[in-house]
Structure 1
Amino acid sequence: MTGTKTVRVVFVNAETGQELGRSEVAAETLPDTFEVDTVLHLGDTEWSVRRAEPPTADRFVAAGTLTLTVRRVESMRPSDILYSMPTLYDPLPPSGGQAHDGAAFEIHEDTWRQVEMVSAELDDQVATELLAVRRIYDEHARRDENGRLYGFDAIHVRTGPVRPLPHPVPLQRLSDMLPPTDHRYAGVGYRGAAGLVADSFAFAVGPLVLYGLAEGDLATTLCATIERPEAPERLTALTDALDDAMRSFDLRLVDWCRCAAVTADSIADYLTAVTPE
């Protein structure tokens, strides 16, 4: 391209098919290709390019003409943005380690540390955070005419406890206390990301997957999720074992989105309630 070369650009409204206008544009100010998502500013309005003819600079510069079919970008008011959950944890541990090739336990980023084991000595911190989550339910929940919750217009971002297990949990000892492991994953991976979360682990015991971060054999973050239904007798064996483990390591299971801090005495009722039938 040369600095003096111009291209006649015709703008067409994608919704109506009508021409919006045309302009002589310096070739050097146009992108090399419109084959990737492109947004243009026409006056005070943003338009996304839906189609470009021709799509690449070598062709439209040579031809001297370019037709862009565009659609107005509609801005959403902040008050219209809804969240699907009342809280999430930030920051996330970074991914990008070794590729997991399908061998990882994959989670959505927003589910990180939504259900986790926390040391009982942090009960005061947990209570403070749960109070903030409860405030989201009380003040920012959106419900339909039948009272069914469908979203939140605000979210509580938790930044603590930074170290939920001040006394790390030995993974081998924990595994020995639970029923036999059904599957051991290569680690944790975020959906859509190529690599494992560094220093992560994950293993399945019946319907329960325990995952998190570890320093060697010592778990510093221990999350949990129920992945599938389970026969009552196997669920009973699992809850009895979790009861023992939680007492041994002095842990609470905190379900942040449900505003629940579950003690060993209540773990059976909790798992029965959240396990799909």
Structure 2
Amino acid sequence: MKIKEYRTQFIEELTPIYDAGEAESFFYLILEEKHQLKRIDLALHPDLVFSEEEIAVWNSILEPLQQEIPIQYLLGKTSFYGLDFEVNENVLIPRPETEELVEWIIKSNLKIEKFKNLKILDIGTGSGCIAISLAKNLPNAQVYAIDVSEKALATAKKNAAINEVNVTFVNQNILGTEDLQQQFDIIVSNPPYVRNLEKEEIKKNVLDNEPHLALFVEDNDALIFYKKIAELAQKNLLPNGQLYFEINQYLGKEMVDLLEKLNFATIELRKDIYGNDRMIKGSDQF
């Protein structure tokens, strides 16, 4: 079968579940991963064909896509901040909003990092996307990363090797931590922040497949991780240190109030590209 013909069939099979543009993007992601072919290659060579064996492979990916299993898990990889990351059911799939947080940290510290070996801690690292991206783009920094899940850390360690960076990984439950034992210039975290009451807003492919441990918090204690991490930052940030969070879009004011109560003098709340309150920075708390 010609690849162009299969593409039409593939998209038609998925459009009851996904919109046509998303279904088409899936097709080209798989085409590049499995055949090292891009959209332009298909345009230039419209007579390219799939063998019966290749169609069988494609159909084996199509079926779980119809069950709304994320394509990143099916391919076992994703891209984040221009880097390749292995992903699986033990880690969240990195989001574009988190790339914005990483960009903020890098731009704020690129000049500083040239003159100082920054110490950075990423709490709840998951796939390692934040820690590894920072280590790659702030190469003089010493980067540490904590996660409660040993399986997530195993994936993060693989990703550090893939991207050729040094990150010190620690298996640790941050809620049970009284002191971080070291001082840091930057502490960053994208902790669980989706309240159970917001589950109906979560897409089925996320709700049914991504680790709930990394997603959800109780409705009556939605800031549990933020409060704990901010309190630790009070003890373990160096003078002029910086605390960064990715946050629940509905709790921007609550996050500002929390950092004010903990005496962070300079607080900046930022929106993401979709106009949602998504990240916050606290500094100069001493």
Structure number having the greater helix percentage: 2
Fold shared, TM-score > 0.5 on shorter chain: no
More strand by share: 1
TM normalised by structure 1 equals: 0.30
Q: Which has the larger radius of gyration?
A: 1
